[in-house]
Amino acid sequence: MKKMKLIYNPVAGDGTFKLYFDQLFRILQEHDIVVEPFRTFNKGDAEQAVEEIDESYDGVIAVGGDGTVSEAACGLLKSKMDIPLGIIPWGTINDLAHFLNIPKDLSECCQIIINNKRKPVDMGVVNGHFYFINVVSAGFLTDVAYKTRPDFKNIFGRFAYYVKGLEGLPNLKPIKLKVLSEGRSVFEGESYLIVVLNSSSAGGFYRLAPRAVLDDGKLDVIILKACPTPELISTSIKVLKGEHLKDRNIVYFQTHDLKILGNYELPSDVDGEMGPFLPLEIGVKPRALKIFVP
């Protein structure tokens, strides 16, 4: 039999995963997979639990949103365990699962793990020791994920993020940034937002970086320049349609080495959690993790 560590966030999404334990155990046990459950209580629990597993495990299954998935992935990277990660998306947004075409249906997710098809994916690293699997950002909207109350997200889903973002519009202020890619200056000036992506989506915006590939050794960078409100609205509509990369208020490029300099009191967001303050040095660990995929 195979043994896998099951990391689950009990308050992710609608908080109902606990009702499906028996179904998950039955499906996997019928295919000779035994799971050892671990319930998270606080930030960092999932990462620590994964770091503590040993060679007797054949995989890790993360049940929750992007934060739980990110912690499990970071734990695997830090532990240097060459075992795959399974994802059962139970969160509000589930950007990475959406990009990988992993469905929300529990039975289908179990079948993906049973089928044992694995995809190598890149991992990003910030300032040498903050790892991420999907996104790093700074500026407007970047704190929405961890400032939105879990109960509000459970009731309104992705719409809760949009409401929280609209609340912040009256306080919208540009930030001064200098951005270097592979040692060359690519942007210097005022902006509202910088997003560094491994997949194509963040915060439920699924076409932010339509050219993104998870295993190409590159990150996709999008900078929203400071601009008048009418132009900001026009650019935002293009973002929703995935037609923004050529907009004059957008700077877009791909890179494997990035530095972001600016206001040292400005925090970053790393996979939906508060990250380090600027400056940031961001790199890539190519094909550092394997994920079960359809």
Any idea which residues carry the catalytic annotation?
Answer: 273
| Nearest-5° Cα angle at 265, 138 to 228 | 50
CA distances 72 to 62, 77, 113, 194, Å, are 7, 9, 16, 25
221 forms bridges with which residues in the sheet?
196, 253
C-alpha–C-alpha distance, residues 145 and 165, integer Å: 10
